[in-house]
Amino acid sequence: MAKILIIDDEKGLCDEFSQLLREERHQVDAVQDPREGVKKAKTQGYDLIFLDVLMPKVEGREALQEIKKECETPVVIMSGYLPPGKEQDVLTAGAFACIRKPFDLKEVFGIIGKALETK
């Protein structure tokens, strides 16, 4: 079981993804406001963070940099579209992995397993 934070401006995605992770016995928090997500990431001791790359107010790469300044928690970038070079850009900025929406659940659970092994 892992303590996981989801940061995505799409409420429906947060709700559905949270439910799937809870069914796998993970403890999950989800927020739609990236600033609130960064604050929680820095203070709540998560094992893994899923972070949308395109959000209003704060871009995902910027949120990633803020999180990585203060904690070592693995961050997985999520996106419906990653333009050429963007995936490498966020990996270089410190992301643990990138996944594309809609998710391949086998890939998601594999990433969770790998992230927990590195902690």
Q: Which domains does the chain have, with CATH numbers?
A: 3-118 (3.40.50.2300)
pLDDT per position in the chain (119 positions), as tens? 899 999 999 999 999 999 999 999 999 999 999 999 999 999 999 999 999 988 887 888 889 999 999 899 999 999 887 777 778 888 888 999 999 888 899 999 999 999 999 86
Q: Considering the entire predicted model, what is its pTM?
A: 0.94
pLDDT at position 54 = 84
Query: 103 phi and psi, to 5 degrees?
Result: -75, 150
In eight-state DSSP terms, residue 15 is H
CA distances for 59 relative to 19, 45, 63, 64, 89, angstroms: 25, 22, 6, 9, 13
Check: CB of residue 49 under 8 Å from CB of residue 29.
no
pLDDT at position 82 = 74
pLDDT at position 27 = 97
